[in-house]
Amino acid sequence: MVDFDDSDDPDEGPVIVRRAAYDEGRRLYAAVEARGQGAHVAFDIARDKAAACRASGDALGAGFWSEVFDFLMWRETVGGDVPTIVLEDDEVWDQATGKIRKSGTQQKRSIKGAQ
């Protein structure tokens, strides 16, 4: 679940990624870098694994490897000062507040003008 806003807003927001996809993406990137290969090889591996999972009917695997691919691609294309927010299994990113919250909890909202 890499989350990014791909609008024309020049203010790049944080890269949002789940822990499992983050860990696998970092491991994959380090492995190809250790072999002297560029980041594009890590992208290709993740994309190919997603395709193989889709071909075999493994929707969960395909989704996971697509997340890894998206994380690697997005992280590579944003500025170095853009933070990466890693979400644990019980967390979600609240775009409205710009903060992590526990899944299943909702932001309290007030209705202006309500009596």
Question: Whose structure tokens read 């203010």?
Answer: 11
Tens-place pLDDT, residues 89-105: 999 999 889 899 998 76
Tens-place pLDDT, residues 62-78: 999 999 999 999 988 88
Residue type present at position 28? L
Residues of 10-24 as b/e, b for ≥16 C-beta within 10 angstroms? eeebebbbbebbbeb
- The answer, as to whether pTM is greater than 0.75, is yes
Question: Whose structure tokens read 């980041």?
Answer: 39
How far does Cα 76 stand from its chain's mean position?
A: 12
**DSSP single-letter state for residue 11:** S
Number of H helices, E strands in the chain: 3, 4
